[in-house]
Amino acid sequence: MYEQISHSLLNDILTEVKQPKGEDWQHFYTRLGANFYAIYSLFQHLYGQREDFKPQLASLVSVLSRQYAQRAPHLRLKDLEREKNHDWFMQQKLVGMALYCEGFAGNLANMKDKLAYLQELGVNLVHILPICDCPEQANDGGYAVRDFRKVDPRYGSMEDLEQLIAAMQQCDMLLTLDVVANHTSDQHAWAMNAKNGEQRYQDYYYMYPDRTLPDMFEASMPEVFPEHAPGSFTFNAETGKWVMTVFNDYQWDLNYSNPAVLIEIVDIILFWANKGVDILRLDAVAFLWKKIGSTSQNEREAHLILQLLKDCCQVTAPGVIFIAEAIVAPLEIIKYFGEDAVNAKECEIAYNATFMALLWDAVATKNTVLLTNGVKDLPEKLDRATWLNYVRCHDDIGLGFSDQAIIASGFEPVSHRRFLVDYYTGQYPDSNARGFAFGVNRKTGDARISGALASLAGLETALANNDQPAIDNAILTIVLLHNLIMSFGGIPLIYYGDSVGTLNNDGYLQDSSKMHDNRWVHRPTLDWEVMALRNEPGTVQQRLFSQIKQMIAMRKEIAAFADLNNRELIDMVNPHLFAFHRYVQTGMNPKVVVIANFDVHPQRAALHLFKQKNLQKAEGTLIDLCSGQTVQIEDDAIILPKLTAYWLAA
Ligand code: GLC
């Protein structure tokens, strides 16, 4: 948008900073012109009252142009290609995996040898969990960064990473890396300077001489790690000040009311964009703005900061998109896409934590009422935005569905959540799950759940008891959950180890830096001899791997699975079933009905429920597109085997 005040300011800035010119810069300037009014307005809103507003804005613009100058020609070309094909990330062709490079392959250099495995499974997007330099001990699995521009020597060097990126580009595999934007390690240079008394760097954090303001903040801030890191402030002996530490006591929260912090993070985002990263996962974005008297989560300013980050990234590296990691209430999560697909855009992708938690609810209850209600309650998301659908990740499972949805499903919120924690920690009489309670808050009664997918699904118990029917059920459950993240709409993100049924691993209990945090129970070091069993017919690994592999291959062929806000729930009457219709707006592509049975007994779905969907028969029978199996029909009803989902052409 053209607006006089901002444009005359931009002209001043460009004259002062002596911007480069030339053909190569055309795209940069057109994008800067297009986004500058938004950048200016947001910056004005956040920092307009400051005397140094103009030099700060100039410094932001010079970061954008300095990083553009360093953007490699092939990445600039990719930016232009993605501009033309702007919904590239919403296609059903993408299938992701999240992994720790250490646990998956040992280090970054070895990762190159494992790309063949990822290709074999059909994965073409890899989220490598944090690899930036971190302290040896206090590192929160890489989320306490000491140097944002250095690869942690434990995983290799920047050169190893560059070689890996080149190898991934060769096989059309996209890369996601983290930018931990909310906090740094207390060993980061900024924190060290702050500890040395430098005011400039103390202003990068929230530091207070006494408890007055910390007490006021804490009065309304929920605790993230109530067991091992209670409270939200930590006393720093070097400065005699209280520092805000919402997560662990060694993770210092960055203070975005200081524009210098925002500019540093823009620079870091563009640094990684210029390394060739396709998608940046912005960690803990709900926490970016703190306000006394509020929970200091999901604040309006946190959204404005994300809009600014997006507008800036679009000027220099528009082909790079963002994932919002905001594990918050359903109605809050959706806001991280932004208010509008073009203006006020934030992140193109967001973790679908709601769907994940609802799936686990359906597994425990064998009932889909809450799943259906919870999905119904999700507001339609923006165009040009998509979900990251996952079953497990490196974090705990938070039971983050809304109380209203629980009540509407006939349960009582407190006792229902307690039931789920009991169920997944194996304390419920009927449960064979082997998870652990995480983040137990004795004051509020809240708890989350840790545990590997296979162990939560009952495989560990079943194997220990050598109980064949229970092993079968666990395998069915694992496949069913993967089936739904493949078909729901969005990018499925598999967690490393899950496609061969990797179990809990309590090795972390021997490590003093990890033993207090049971999320490590589901952050495995893969044993590649066990992984090789994926090719041994009849093994658990092979039964899982072959089905998930086939599912991925089929997903990629079904255009209706692209995420274009093209899903409609189908009312199933039967409370064990969950079904939806995936359609394509235009063209002749087949539509698909997905129907899933969460019960441990076969269930009937009356055919008339699908009347308007026109289920297509092949030679008089219905075929499941995913497995190729013939669907059993009896008395005008589909018979769904236990713990099974079908994809039916419609
Ligand atoms: C994110 C990460 C989690 C980490 C937290 C604090 O939620 O996924 O692992 O503990 O941020 O950085």
Please report the atom of ligand 1 found closest to the CA of residue 225: 10
User: 115-135, pLDDT tens digit by residue?
Assistant: 999 999 999 999 999 999 999
Q: CB of 226 closer than 6 A to ligand 1?
A: no
Residues 438 and 511 in one domain: yes
In a domain, 78, yes or no: no
88: which DSSP letter?
Answer: G
Residue with more model confidence, 442 or 314: 314
Q: For a pocket test of ligand 1, which of 129, 132, 134, 140 has the largest count of ligand atoms closer than 8 A to its C-beta?
A: 140
Residues 539 and 607 in one domain: no
% of the chain beyond a pLDDT of 90: 90
Query: What radius of gyration do the chain's Cα atoms show?
Result: 25
What sections of 135-188 are H helices per DSSP?
A: 158-170
Closest Cα to atom 4, ligand 1: which residue? 143
Token pair listed for 545: 């791997």
The DSSP-derived string for 334-369 is: GGGGBSSSSTTB--SEEE-HHHHHHHHHHHHHS--H
Please report the atom of ligand 1 found closest to the CA of residue 140: 10
Residue 537 has pLDDT above 70, yes or no: yes
Residue 151 has pLDDT above 80, yes or no: yes
How far is the first Cα of the chain from the last one, in angstroms, to the nearest whole number?
44
The residues annotated with a catalytic role in the active site are 283, 325
pLDDT number for residue 603: 98
Token pair listed for 47: 């920092």
Q: Tell which of 556, 573, 600 closes a domain.
A: 556
Residue 155 has pLDDT above 70, yes or no: yes
pLDDT number for residue 588: 62
Please report the atom of ligand 1 found closest to the CA of residue 394: 9
| Spacing, Cα 370 to ligand 1 middle (Å) | 27
Residue 79 has pLDDT above 80, yes or no: yes
Using DSSP, state whether 308 is helix, strand or coil.
helix
Q: Tell which of 556, 581, 598 closes a domain.
A: 556
Q: For a pocket test of ligand 1, which of 177, 179, 247 has the largest count of ligand atoms closer than 8 A to its C-beta?
A: 247
Q: CB of 385 closer than 6 A to ligand 1?
A: no
| Spacing, Cα 283 to ligand 1 middle (Å) | 7
Residues 469 and 370 in one domain: yes
User: 609-650, pLDDT tens digit by residue?
Assistant: 988 878 888 777 899 999 999 999 999 999 999 999 999 998
What CATH number corresponds to the domain at position 577?
2.60.40.1180
pLDDT number for residue 612: 80
Residues 575 and 524 in one domain: no
In a domain, 575, yes or no: yes
Q: Is the dihedral of CA 111, 112, 116, 122 positive or negative?
A: positive
610: which DSSP letter?
Answer: G
% of the chain beyond a pLDDT of 70: 99
How far is Cα 63 from Cα 316, in angstroms, rounded to an integer? 9
Q: Poorest-confidence range of 71-80, 162-171, 196-205, 332-341?
A: 332-341
Which amino acid, residue 535? N
User: 554-595, pLDDT tens digit by residue?
Assistant: 999 999 999 998 999 999 999 999 999 999 876 667 799 999
In a domain, 597, yes or no: yes
Q: CB of 387 closer than 6 A to ligand 1?
A: no
User: 19 falls in which pLDDT band (50, 70, 90)?
Assistant: confident
User: 39 falls in which pLDDT band (50, 70, 90)?
Assistant: very high
**38-53: average pLDDT:** 98
The candidate with the shortest Cα–Cα distance to 263, out of 344, 328, 204, 198, is 204
Q: Within a 10 A sphere around the Cβ of 618, how many other Cβ atoms?
A: 10
Residue with more model confidence, 639 or 444: 639
Residue 169 has pLDDT above 70, yes or no: yes
| Spacing, Cα 359 to ligand 1 middle (Å) | 22
How far is Cα 151 from Cα 165, in angstroms, rounded to an integer? 13
Closest Cα to atom 3, ligand 1: which residue? 395
pLDDT number for residue 587: 64
Q: What is the chain's mean pLDDT, rounded?
A: 96
Please report the atom of ligand 1 found closest to the CA of residue 182: 12
Residue 422 has pLDDT above 70, yes or no: yes
| Spacing, Cα 129 to ligand 1 middle (Å) | 10
The candidate with the shortest Cα–Cα distance to 560, out of 91, 100, 223, 126, is 91
Q: CB of 624 closer than 6 A to ligand 1?
A: no
Q: CB of 590 closer than 6 A to ligand 1?
A: no
Token pair listed for 237: 């002996």
For residue 282, CA distances in Å to 227, 400, 548 come to: 25, 20, 28
pLDDT number for residue 303: 98
How far is Cα 224 from Cα 233, in angstroms, rounded to an integer? 12
Please report the atom of ligand 1 found closest to the CA of residue 183: 12
Q: Within a 10 A sphere around the Cβ of 141, how many other Cβ atoms?
A: 17
How far is Cα 29 from Cα 97, in angstroms, rounded to an integer? 36
Closest Cα to atom 9, ligand 1: which residue? 395
From start to end of 190-296, where are the E strands? 207-208, 233-236, 241-244, 251-253, 279-282
Please report the atom of ligand 1 found closest to the CA of residue 180: 12
Closest Cα to atom 7, ligand 1: which residue? 284
Which amino acid, residue 345? K
For residue 409, CA distances in Å to 101, 136, 367, 391, 423 come to: 41, 46, 10, 22, 18
| Spacing, Cα 284 to ligand 1 middle (Å) | 6
In a domain, 378, yes or no: yes
Residues 471 and 573 in one domain: no
Residues 478 and 608 in one domain: no
Q: CB of 254 closer than 6 A to ligand 1?
A: no
Q: CB of 284 closer than 6 A to ligand 1?
A: yes
Residues 476 and 545 in one domain: yes
Residue 388 has pLDDT above 90, yes or no: yes
Closest Cα to atom 12, ligand 1: which residue? 143
Token pair listed for 51: 């005397």
User: 347 falls in which pLDDT band (50, 70, 90)?
Assistant: very high
How far is Cα 302 from Cα 299, in angstroms, rounded to an integer? 5
pLDDT number for residue 618: 74
- The pairing of beta strand 644-649 with beta strand 592-597: antiparallel
Q: Is the dihedral of CA 521, 527, 533, 539 positive or negative?
A: negative
| Spacing, Cα 143 to ligand 1 middle (Å) | 6
Residues 541 and 603 in one domain: no
- Is-contact 397 360, C-beta < 8 A? yes
User: 207-247, pLDDT tens digit by residue?
Assistant: 999 999 999 999 999 999 999 899 999 999 999 999 999 99
What sections of 85-121 are H helices per DSSP?
A: 101-105, 108-121
Residues 458 and 414 in one domain: yes
The domain of 583 spans 565-649
Residue 121 main-chain phi, psi, to 5 deg = -75, -25
- What total of structural domains would you count in the chain? 2
In a domain, 627, yes or no: yes
In a domain, 115, yes or no: no
Residue 553 has pLDDT above 90, yes or no: yes
The DSSP-derived string for 511-564 is: -TTTTT-GGGGGS----HHHHHGGGSTTSHHHHHHHHHHHHHHHHHH-GGGS-S
126 membership: H or E segment, kind and range: strand 125-128
| CA within 13 Å, CB half, 347 | 28
- Is-contact 366 640, C-beta < 8 A? no
In a domain, 330, yes or no: no
What CATH number corresponds to the domain at position 372?
3.20.20.80
The candidate with the shortest Cα–Cα distance to 75, out of 316, 341, 428, is 316
Residue 567 main-chain phi, psi, to 5 deg = -135, 140
Q: CB of 143 closer than 6 A to ligand 1?
A: yes
Token pair listed for 98: 């999240």
**500-505: average pLDDT:** 98
How far is Cα 293 from Cα 218, in angstroms, rounded to an integer? 9
User: 171 falls in which pLDDT band (50, 70, 90)?
Assistant: very high
Residues 431 and 466 in one domain: yes
Residues 486 and 604 in one domain: no
The candidate with the shortest Cα–Cα distance to 181, out of 257, 256, 290, is 256
Q: Tell which of 494, 522, 556 closes a domain.
A: 556
In a domain, 448, yes or no: yes
| Spacing, Cα 522 to ligand 1 middle (Å) | 14
Residues 471 and 579 in one domain: no
